């Protein structure tokens, strides 16, 4: 696909699983965009965030025609929502709520023998609260909710893989944690998504689960790495004022089996795009 840079490790393996994550910002409004991406990229598993769609209105028929017959949904009308679409059958799926709210921000699936895998892989799909515009929890309930959500992720036993557990955590985590995950570290220190407290809390989640930041394993700092460009920029590509809000983490048992990582920028330039772009990872072995 155009505008994509593919980072690859050399592997020879009988098993190959391609996983994509994408904040689509309304799956029904952008179903043609999803279909276009699917036809070009053909991921085995597509994790969507911000689907903004109740489960009974999800465009299942269209997706099944595209080959994605296995779907795990956690959606609601108009806001938030996550989904896992798969060409391969699940062993199981699970929904987890945070902060005492049923706001549809997590779904996980397990792929195993039915998908042709010798050893199962758990995939967690998250949509972390954006947090509003004011980086002060005392006056901004949305920011307070985001910080509490991140704390609960850190403390969740389900997000602490065992030593031999093969797991991947993906999604729009709504935090750009590193200096070169944003276009200007100094100018964005007080901007929600890159404030020190958010970055610290996301790092705490990663450490608590011994998660490996797969994207930065392939693209170490100081290279810039973005997955989101604001709608406010009249020419997002020329301005290139991006942030890395979308993430792919892997458990230590799976980290060295991630064969490639690809930030697919082309969909940001399609008609009526999401402000996020897909990120793809290939698991081998």
Domain ranges of the chain: 5-284
- pLDDT on residue 7: 83
The secondary structure element, H or E, covering residue 170 is strand 167-172
pLDDT at residue 248 in the model: 98
pLDDT at 15: 78
Query: What is the rounded (10 degree) CA torsion for 42, 46, 52, 57?
Result: 70
Instruction: State residue 1's pLDDT score.
Output: 46
∠ Cα 118 48 74 (to 5°): 90
**Is 3.60.10.10 the CATH number for 5-284?**
yes
Which residues of the chain, if any, have pLDDT below 50?
1-2, 12
Question: What's the pLDDT score for residue 12?
Answer: 45
Q: What is the DSSP-derived secondary structure letter of residue 27?
A: T
111 Cα distance to chain centroid? 18
pLDDT score recorded for residue 2: 46
Angle at 124 between CA 118 and CA 125, to 5 degrees: 130
Query: What per-residue confidence (pLDDT) applies to 91?
Result: 97
CB-based contacts of 264, cutoff 8 Å, min separation 6:
1, 3, 4, 20, 37, 41, 277, 278, 279, 280
Residue 126 φ/ψ, nearest 5 degrees: -125, 145
Dihedral sign from CA coordinates of 269, 271, 274, 278: negative
Distance between CA atoms of residues 39 and 59, nearest Å: 16
Residue 282's H or E segment, with its range, is strand 279-284
- Six-digit token string for 281: 């990872």
């Amino acid at each position: 696909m155009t505008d994509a840079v593919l980072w690859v490790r050399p592997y020879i393996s009988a098993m190959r699983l391609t996983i994509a994550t994408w904040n689509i910002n309304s799956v029904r409004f952008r179903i043609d965009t999803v279909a276009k991406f699917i036809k070009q990229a053909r991921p085995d598993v597509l994790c969507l965030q911000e689907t903004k769609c109740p489960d009974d209105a999800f465009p299942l028929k269209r997706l099944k025609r595209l080959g994605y017959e296995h779907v795990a949904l956690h959606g609601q009308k108009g806001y938030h929502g996550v989904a896992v679409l798969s060409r391969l059958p699940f062993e199981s799926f699970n929904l987890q709520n945070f902060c005492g709210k049923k706001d549809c921000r997590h779904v996980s699936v397990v792929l195993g023998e039915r998908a042709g895998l010798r050893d199962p892989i758990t995939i967690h799909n998250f949509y972390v609260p954006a947090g509003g515009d004011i980086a002060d929890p005392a006056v901004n309930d949305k920011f307070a909710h985001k910080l509490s959500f991140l704390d609960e992720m850190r403390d969740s036993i389900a997000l602490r893989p065992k030593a031999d557990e093969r797991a991947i955590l993906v999604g729009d985590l709504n935090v750009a944690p590193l200096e070169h995950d944003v276009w200007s570290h100094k100018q964005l220190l007080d901007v929600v998504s890159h404030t020190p407290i958010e970055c610290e809390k996301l790092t705490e989640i990663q450490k608590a689960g011994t998660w490996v930041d797969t994207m930065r394993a392939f693209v170490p700092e100081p290279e810039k790495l973005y997955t989101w460009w604001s709608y406010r920029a009249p020419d997002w590509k020329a301005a290139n004022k991006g942030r890395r809000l979308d993430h792919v983490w892997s458990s230590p048992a799976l980290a060295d089996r991630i064969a490639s990582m690809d930030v697919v920028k082309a969909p940001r330039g399609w008609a009526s795009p999401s402000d996020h772009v897909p990120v793809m990872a290939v698991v081998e072995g």
